[in-house]
Structure 1
Amino acid sequence: IVSLAAKLVGPFFPRIGFPLITGYIVTGMVAGPYALEIVKQADVNDLSYINMVALAYITTSAGAELHIPELKPLIKALLAQTTAIAIITFALETVVVGLLSSTSLLSWINPFPSQCRWAVATIMASICIARSPATAIALVKEMRCKGKMTSTMLGITVLSDLFVLISISITTSFGMSSCKGLPFQGASLGIVIAMIIVSILIGVVIGFVFMGLMMFSRFEMNALIFPLGFLVFLGSSVFTTEVSKRVPEDKQMHLEPLLMCIVGGFICVNFSSFHHRFCDALQVAAPYIFVPFFTLVGASLDLKTFAASIGFALIVALVRAICIFTATSSTGWLVGQEKATNLTIWMTLISQAGFSLGLASEIAHKFEDWGRKFQAVIISIVVINQMTGPVLCKLALRWSGEAG
């Protein structure tokens, strides 16, 4: 019922310059646990399967948008800009959060030793590298964008998540040794890299399954890509749960369903003759996926936490935006990227959503002393980036002339 309301409210937002998904998010916030309470907190938890279905669709779509002929001329710029964003964001955010960790803005971490506070700063900086594939894909579908800037945005968004997976593993191990007194586990990085490789291989298999489904012209068969994506997320969740019962906390293994679906979509569109049929099937399904997903995202945003942490969150969000602009404009200039793209591509990379919230939830589980407070701050940062990011992204894509 709330999703139907969001579907009706959403179209009013483009009239005042906002994307459709902003309308869905705002509707979810109004109907959620911190306003009208039509959707309660328990409901948000019970509806997690909507996230699985939507993220499977969104990441598969992200892979499908990475078309090799379009990416070849952009590879140099993609790698340079993604690496620069990751390094500059991590370094500057670590310094800013580390310096503020002894002030009243982060009073919950003040009592801990200096080494622990700086470890928390590195973990928060790692999460700041993350992007929102969901927002990027939703805007590309809504505006029917196609071109160099769109491909660059999607490429950086996907590659950034690989940096985050590795960075969060290293910084979490550093946090364990600094805050809990446990030895630094270098092996955990090896486990993460191994799981990324396994996830990529599984993604290749999924890509060939997608090809098999595309051989059938009937939409009913094409539509099986969506439950298949859901099963990928569900299977990964079951795998993680079962493994956690059998191995120590510092040796946990997590398959990456986001990566699997991205690789699956990439393989299907680049190594088969079903590029257009696959993209058409994804396009038809878009409204049915985005409305409930972004409505639930709005309902999931903790507005009380946001209000309590808004001062610090604004500082971190502003520093993050400056880092992205500095990295993309400088490296874009070095690799000969068009001036217009250099000055506006940063606007398409601000959004954060489910991936960042998921990482914050994992940190809350691992660090009982300060984890929940840390999660609350990340939620505040995500709220700011998710309310401003889509608007900036829509403006940049429109200025680029790539909107259909």
Structure 2
Amino acid sequence: MPNLSQLKKNGEILTNLNQKPEMSHRLISLFLALSSMSLIVHTGLFNEVKLVSSTLVLGFLLIAAYCVGYVLSQWGLPRITGNLLAGLLLGPYFFQYFSAEAVSDLSFLNSLALAFIAFCAGGEFKIEGVRQHLKSILFLISGVTTVVFFGVSLTVLAISEMIPFMAKYNFLTRMAISALFGVIAVARSPSSAIAIISETKAKGDYTNIVLSVTIVMDVVIIILFGIVISFCQVLISNSGSIDPTFFLDLLAEIAIALFLGFLLGKSIVFLIQNVKMEFPVVIIAVGFIVIKFSHLLGDYLHEVHDIGLHLEPLLMCMSAGFTIQNFSKYGKIFLSKMDGVSLPIYVAFFAITGASINVDILKSGWMLGLVIVASRTLMIFIGSNLSGRLAGDSPKIYKNTWMGFITQAGVSLGLLTEIVRRFPEIGVPIQSILIAAITLNQIAGPIAFKFALKKLGETNNR
């Protein structure tokens, strides 16, 4: 009679045999997708098919990104890294299977995906889990934010005279520009963290702490950015003193967005109870409405009543997900249903994000981008270690927490756009440097986070 170790070994062999056909199927699918798209793009056989056809590009991108993500996952890398690389390599700056115009046509899908991810982020933010790790979360938020902001700002300031576009300014202006680099370095990526957790089915103290800090940082970064940008406005443009009402307006906007999100969450629960609709269908529809409503309301108030109210739609969606999770009986089923449809949404989001990366901008800023990445990673490591020790976390937690905070994505890019709008002269070179840094963080971050989850034994998939 075979012993237990022999049965286990036989089971592993069978598992590997089952995975080999799956791998070959994905590679064949990828080959067919690339061959078909090459035939369309590089020959005249199908002239009636336009390169910028959004439907064609989306279908091709979903198949290719999914297959690349699966193949890389078999080598221990995150699926979203494969999705991102597929979009980057197949997009308008490398193999050119589709144009930048086609990517632009698909950008609305990224908005919908971000709304979906924001709902999931709020749903993952459970009061019970936060209460259990409250001290660790508060120390990490305050400690890492402080160390990263001042550490990166001082690093940039120290080398500012060697950066061509900064060297011509006086010390105070260089200090303000350095602070803009510092505040962008603080931003995290809830979308990437949630995608990795969803892929690995991760659960545990480390997962809860990293996810909670990442979600709360979305609110913290908006407040910090508002404060920094107002000081920089004074230092860069010499526009006088800071208007104290600005901070009150900023806090009011955040409070209103969170309150409207609470009402939205209650409304979604009401719809689910009475209309018997599926959670994902309602969430995607509501996410689209929230994005459109917040933008239209902001434009209307500004143009008609000269009121500068900007409601952040992602905060509203996050608050709604939090409400469903913590103030209704549907929290568990909500996350289960959302997780069931998350794969194509993550594939589309990260593939389009990869295809949107402007390689020309990347080339112009990659050297300084590496300096920013190195400085930011070091500061995250120092800040998370110090915070974890002060909070009394176990060594296995605080020695690995930094790996969960590297990734950057949508929030960082959104803040960069605002910097360019406010300060066109310095905003463009800042953008070129930080896009390079964000791209590197977006590639390396998920790999580091997945490694940490495996190292701490919190993953639950094969």
Tell me whether the two structures share a fold, i.e. TM-score over 0.5. Answer: yes
- Aligned equivalents of 1:185 and 1:337: distance in 2? 41
Question: How much has 1:14 moved relative to structure 2?
Answer: 1.2
Please report the TM-score for the alignment, with normalisation by the length of structure 2. Answer: 0.83
- Aligned equivalents of 1:394 and 1:294: distance in 2? 16
SS in 2 for 1:223: helix
Any idea what the Cα deviations from partners look like across 1:94-124, whole Å, max 9, x if unmatched?
1111122211xx2122222322221111111
Question: How much has 1:221 moved relative to structure 2?
Answer: 5.8
Relative to structure 1, the CA distance from residue 17 to residue 316 in structure 2 (aligned partners, 3 Å threshold; closer, same or farther) is same
The equivalences for 1:286-325 within 5 A come to 286-325=342-381
Relative to structure 1, the CA distance from residue 266 to residue 298 in structure 2 (aligned partners, 3 Å threshold; closer, same or farther) is same
Asked if 1:178 corresponds to 2:178, the answer is: no
Whether the aligned pair in 1 keeps the contact of 2:157 and 2:178 (CA below 8 Å) is yes
| Structure index of larger Rg | 2
The equivalences for 1:224-373 within 5 A come to 224-245=282-303, 252-373=308-429
Q: What is residue 77 of structure 2 aligned with on the other side?
A: 18
Any idea what the Cα deviations from partners look like across 1:291-316, whole Å, max 9, x if unmatched?
11000110111222222212211111
SS in 2 for 1:16: coil
Any idea what the Cα deviations from partners look like across 1:207-230, whole Å, max 9, x if unmatched?
112222332695546521111012
Q: What is residue 194 of structure 1 aligned with on the other side?
A: 252
- Aligned equivalents of 1:11 and 1:216: distance in 2? 39
- Aligned equivalents of 2:303 and 2:415: distance in 1? 20
- Aligned equivalents of 2:429 and 2:315: distance in 1? 29
Question: How much has 1:246 moved relative to structure 2?
Answer: 5.7
Any idea what the Cα deviations from partners look like across 1:305-354, whole Å, max 9, x if unmatched?
22221221111111111111111111211222121011111101100001
- Aligned equivalents of 2:447 and 2:204: distance in 1? 19
Gapped regions of structure 1 (runs ≥ 5): none
Q: What is residue 17 of structure 2 aligned with on the other side?
A: none
Question: How much has 1:48 moved relative to structure 2?
Answer: 2.1
Question: How much has 1:252 moved relative to structure 2?
Answer: 3.9
Q: What is residue 106 of structure 2 aligned with on the other side?
A: 47
Q: What is residue 82 of structure 1 aligned with on the other side?
A: 141
The equivalences for 1:149-188 within 5 A come to 149-183=206-240, 184-188=242-246
Relative to structure 1, the CA distance from residue 333 to residue 217 in structure 2 (aligned partners, 3 Å threshold; closer, same or farther) is farther
Q: What is residue 71 of structure 1 aligned with on the other side?
A: 130
Paired residues, number: 400
The equivalences for 1:48-127 within 5 A come to 48-103=107-162, 106-127=163-184
- Aligned equivalents of 1:152 and 1:115: distance in 2? 37
Whether the aligned pair in 2 keeps the contact of 1:81 and 1:328 (CA below 8 Å) is yes
Any idea what the Cα deviations from partners look like across 1:48-98, whole Å, max 9, x if unmatched?
211111111111111111112222110111011111011111111111111
Q: What is residue 29 of structure 2 aligned with on the other side?
A: none
Whether the aligned pair in 1 keeps the contact of 2:198 and 2:339 (CA below 8 Å) is yes
Question: How much has 1:364 moved relative to structure 2?
Answer: 0.7
Whether the aligned pair in 1 keeps the contact of 2:88 and 2:357 (CA below 8 Å) is yes
Moved more, 81-90 or 326-335: 326-335
Q: What is residue 458 of structure 2 aligned with on the other side?
A: 402
Whether the aligned pair in 1 keeps the contact of 2:65 and 2:351 (CA below 8 Å) is yes
- Aligned equivalents of 1:97 and 1:242: distance in 2? 39
Q: What is residue 205 of structure 1 aligned with on the other side?
A: 263
Q: Name the amino acid aligned to 1:229.
A: G
Misfit runs of 4+, over 6 Å: none
| Identity fraction in percent | 29
- Aligned equivalents of 1:40 and 1:239: distance in 2? 33
Whether the aligned pair in 2 keeps the contact of 1:214 and 1:277 (CA below 8 Å) is no
Whether the aligned pair in 1 keeps the contact of 2:139 and 2:390 (CA below 8 Å) is no
- Aligned equivalents of 2:336 and 2:143: distance in 1? 34
Q: What is residue 62 of structure 2 aligned with on the other side?
A: 3
Whether the aligned pair in 2 keeps the contact of 1:150 and 1:402 (CA below 8 Å) is yes
Question: How much has 1:12 moved relative to structure 2?
Answer: 0.6
Whether the aligned pair in 2 keeps the contact of 1:214 and 1:278 (CA below 8 Å) is no
Q: Name the amino acid aligned to 1:144.
A: K
Whether the aligned pair in 2 keeps the contact of 1:61 and 1:265 (CA below 8 Å) is yes
Whether the aligned pair in 2 keeps the contact of 1:44 and 1:299 (CA below 8 Å) is yes
Whether the aligned pair in 2 keeps the contact of 1:195 and 1:254 (CA below 8 Å) is yes
Q: Name the amino acid aligned to 1:175.
A: C
Gapped regions of structure 2 (runs ≥ 5): 1-59
- Aligned equivalents of 1:53 and 1:240: distance in 2? 19
Please report the TM-score for the alignment, with normalisation by the length of structure 1. Answer: 0.94
Any idea what the Cα deviations from partners look like across 1:100-158, whole Å, max 9, x if unmatched?
2211xx21222223222211111111111100011001001111111111111111101
Q: What is residue 6 of structure 2 aligned with on the other side?
A: none
Relative to structure 1, the CA distance from residue 277 to residue 122 in structure 2 (aligned partners, 3 Å threshold; closer, same or farther) is same
- Aligned equivalents of 1:212 and 1:189: distance in 2? 35
Whether the aligned pair in 1 keeps the contact of 2:272 and 2:278 (CA below 8 Å) is no
